[in-house]
Chain A
Amino acid sequence: MNVHRSPASALWRRLRRNRLALGGGVMIGVLLIVAALAPYLAPYDPAHQSLADKLAGPTARHLLGTDEFGRDVLSRLIFGSRVELAVGVASVLVGLALGTALGTIAAYWGGIADELTMRALDVLLAFPYLLLAILVVSVLGANVRSTILAVGLWATPGFARVIRGLVLLVAGQEYVDASRAIGARTARIILRHVLPNCVSVLIVYAALYMANAILLEAALSFLGLGVQPPAASWGVMISTGRDYLLEAPHIATFAGLAIAFTVLGFNLFADGLRDALDTKAAL
């Protein structure tokens, strides 16, 4: 007897066998828990200043030391995870939404719409990494909202190309012809048939872009063009830690480790998931 398995459960079975992906998943899980329970896990208020303790190295009272205002580095890292995840998720969603719209339009209508969209995206891709984000931020001002938009715009051409390829692939399938034959409207075909069949590949890309979105956000914040102090962004912490490198190297070191841990988690997860799906998605 043939047992019916949903694509999701088949994927999960394969994923379970890939230890690296599982490790990445666990790292992401840890991060989500830390972000969710931040007020309970953080030993101190991340904004509480104690100038008497400033720039102190790791001790029993402050496990990861304190920063230039005597704030607890561990607590700031814990609360910073919320900033990183929120900015990462929001910007990937912006990129995904814009990319899906453009990619679907290009693939489904073809012809001039396709040509125009893809050439416009080529122009965006002609800006080296970080440069487009810098442009966006210089127009909109340095704050969380423009960081999200900048990172999302950076991710858009990649998503659009992937979606376009997927839609072209799926749109040629028989079940799409079948639903068109029974009179389904284009929007319905795209939403009900085409996009759901692209979901698993999109998850791989979303994880990959999540990793890179967090790196990009950290880079912008490091340059002073992203999340602004006193918010506990990890990029901001590295930037200020750089000014106290001699007296307090722990600030920049631990903030960087937090970024590397997070990005590695998403990279491992995406990599393993890609193997499990056996797609040749490359970034």
Chain B
Amino acid sequence: MTRFLVRRVVAAIPIMLGVVFIVMGTMDVIPGDPAAMMLGQGATQDMVTRLRAELGLDRPLAVRYVDYLGRLLRGDLGRSIVDGRPVSEEIRQAWTATLELGAAALVLTVLGGVTIGVLAAHRQDSVFDGASRVLALVGLSMPVFWTGIVFILVFSLELRWLPSGGRGAWPHLVLPAVTLAIPSTATIARVTRSAMLGVLHEDYVRTAYAKGARDAAVLFHHALRNALIPVVTVLGLQLGQLLGGAILTETVFSWPGVGRLLVQAISSRDYILVEGGVLLLAATFVVTNLAVDVAYAYLDPRVVYR
């Protein structure tokens, strides 16, 4: 198990190196000189050249790449072009906000998706099954930013039940988390249903029923545990959807997370901040996927890790 974990972590390293390379390379080819932008309109050519040297922009890409990696390892993401504050500082607070939103949506996704999927499989071809399948497709088809706007319209502006934006006490979290969770819940419900249908005809399920076990016990204890592997795989992919969807949800609900910060940074052309935000979200995705791999080991003792 330890060796498996070490191998997974080692395998993630080249991926992160590639991600850093792509992000850095992208920022390199963006039209416009960051040094000129930092100095503003009144800058002379001499000032720009000096700042370029200071920032190291005059050195070759490979040198800067290695240098950048070194700074990343020390937690240094550079300084914002707009206000000169360290990017790591600006991002830290936003990141906890994004994690809070993402974790809430993840909990809703797992609870809602798995429950709906199990019940639909249990009553295959029933009205509930049919309705949940159609609703799942509808949930997958609605743009999250639009769902968010409709929720604000109905629950904040019309009914005045919940706040329409900002971060604060738990009512602030309800609408953004539900909005973000809808497409993932739909996906997990679909995968859980088909995985459950695959195991419900197995001998051990029949045996459990024969022994007199109750529906709930058979479904959630005997069957679900064996159906969870594909669900966990898809859940790992859904983490990327949640992180990406957070960019939209945060924008709609003025949630002060990395996604909103990123969108603002793009419009103010603060590339250093964009770089930091993108790297952080990608790193979060890679690390959470590692966690999913660990979950396999826990769920399926048959898998042998070499």
Pair from one complex: yes
Which A residues lie at the B interface, using CB under 8 A?
Answer: 20, 119-120, 122-131, 134-136, 138-139, 141, 211, 215, 218-219, 222-225, 235, 238, 241-242, 245-246, 249, 252-253, 255-256, 259-260, 263-264, 267-268, 271, 282
4 closest A-B pairs by CB: A129-B244, A123-B18, A256-B146, A130-B244
Q: With a CB–CB cut-off of 8 A, which chain B residues contact A130?
A: 244-245, 247-248
With A129-B243, A130-B247 as given contacts, are A259 and B143 in contact (CB-CB < 8 Å)?
A: yes
Contact of A131 among B149, B153, B267, B282 (CB under 8 A): B282
Whether A223 lies near B141 (C-beta < 8 A) is no
Say yes or no for B150: interface residue by CB 8 A criterion.
Answer: yes
Q: With a CB–CB cut-off of 8 A, which chain B residues contact A241?
A: 149
Say yes or no for B152: interface residue by CB 8 A criterion.
Answer: yes
Whether B150 lies near A253 (C-beta < 8 A) is yes
A119 to B12, CA, bound (A): 11
Q: With a CB–CB cut-off of 8 A, which chain A residues contact B245?
A: 129-130
With A223-B248, A225-B266, A252-B149 as given contacts, are A127 and B19 in contact (CB-CB < 8 Å)?
A: yes
CB distance from B239 to the nearest CB of A (A): 8
CB distance from B155 to the nearest CB of A (A): 13
Q: With a CB–CB cut-off of 8 A, which chain B residues contact A267?
A: 137, 140-141
Q: With contacts defined as CB atoms under 8 Å apart, how many contacts are there between chain A and chain B in the complex?
A: 139
Whether A138 lies near B285 (C-beta < 8 A) is no
CB distance from A129 to the nearest CB of B (A): 3
Whether A260 lies near B138 (C-beta < 8 A) is yes
Whether A249 lies near B153 (C-beta < 8 A) is yes
With A138-B30, A264-B137 as given contacts, are A129 and B146 in contact (CB-CB < 8 Å)?
A: no
Q: With a CB–CB cut-off of 8 A, which chain B residues contact A238?
A: 143, 145-146, 149
CB distance from A212 to the nearest CB of B (A): 9
A130 to B284, CA, bound (A): 15
**From A235, which residue of chain B is reached at the shortest CB distance?**
B143
Say yes or no for B29: interface residue by CB 8 A criterion.
Answer: yes
Q: With a CB–CB cut-off of 8 A, which chain A residues contact B143?
A: 215, 218-219, 222, 235, 238, 256, 259-260, 263
Contact of B152 among A136, A215, A245, A264 (CB under 8 A): A245
Per DSSP, are chain A's interface residues mostly helix, strand or loop, or mixed?
helix
Since A131-B244, A259-B142, A267-B137 are in contact, a sample of 10 more A-B pairs with Cβ atoms closer than 8 Å, ordered by chain A residue number, is A123-B19, A128-B239, A129-B240, A130-B248, A131-B243, A131-B278, A134-B247, A139-B29, A218-B145, A241-B149
Q: With a CB–CB cut-off of 8 A, which chain A residues contact B241?
A: 128-129
**From B158, which residue of chain A is reached at the shortest CB distance?**
A249
Contact of A246 among B19, B157, B240 (CB under 8 A): B157
CB distance from B9 to the nearest CB of A (A): 14
**From B252, which residue of chain A is reached at the shortest CB distance?**
A242
Whether B157 lies near A245 (C-beta < 8 A) is yes
With A138-B30, A242-B149, A252-B149 as given contacts, are A268 and B137 in contact (CB-CB < 8 Å)?
A: yes
A129, A211, A218 interface centre (most CB from chain B within 10 Å): A129
Q: With a CB–CB cut-off of 8 A, which chain A residues contact B285?
A: 126-128
Whether A119 lies near B240 (C-beta < 8 A) is no
Say yes or no for B23: interface residue by CB 8 A criterion.
Answer: yes
With A130-B247, A223-B251, A252-B149 as given contacts, are A138 and B22 in contact (CB-CB < 8 Å)?
A: no
Q: With a CB–CB cut-off of 8 A, which chain B residues contact A20?
A: 134
Return 12 A-B CB contacts under 8 Å, by A number. A119-B14, A127-B22, A127-B285, A131-B243, A134-B266, A135-B22, A139-B31, A245-B152, A252-B146, A252-B150, A260-B141, A271-B137
Q: With a CB–CB cut-off of 8 A, which chain A residues contact B266?
A: 134, 138, 225
CB distance from B124 to the nearest CB of A (A): 14
Q: With a CB–CB cut-off of 8 A, which chain B residues contact A127?
A: 19, 22, 240, 278, 282, 285
Q: With a CB–CB cut-off of 8 A, which chain A residues contact B234?
A: 282
**From A137, which residue of chain B is reached at the shortest CB distance?**
B266
Whether B146 lies near A131 (C-beta < 8 A) is no
Q: With a CB–CB cut-off of 8 A, which chain A residues contact B153?
A: 245, 249, 252-253
Q: With a CB–CB cut-off of 8 A, which chain A residues contact B14?
A: 119
Say yes or no for B262: interface residue by CB 8 A criterion.
Answer: yes
With A123-B18, A245-B157 as given contacts, are A128 and B149 in contact (CB-CB < 8 Å)?
A: no
A260 to B143, CA, bound (A): 7
Contact of A139 among B15, B30, B150, B286 (CB under 8 A): B30
A141 to B22, CA, bound (A): 17
CB distance from B165 to the nearest CB of A (A): 11
CB distance from B37 to the nearest CB of A (A): 13
Whether B248 lies near A222 (C-beta < 8 A) is yes
Whether B23 lies near A135 (C-beta < 8 A) is yes
Say yes or no for B274: interface residue by CB 8 A criterion.
Answer: yes
A224 to B244, CA, bound (A): 16
Q: With a CB–CB cut-off of 8 A, which chain A residues contact B278?
A: 127, 131, 134-135
Q: In residues 10-50 of chain B, which contact A (Cβ within 8 Å)?
A: 14-16, 18-19, 22-23, 26, 29-31
Say yes or no for B292: interface residue by CB 8 A criterion.
Answer: no
CB distance from A213 to the nearest CB of B (A): 12
B18, B144, B149, B241 interface centre (most CB from chain A within 10 Å): B149
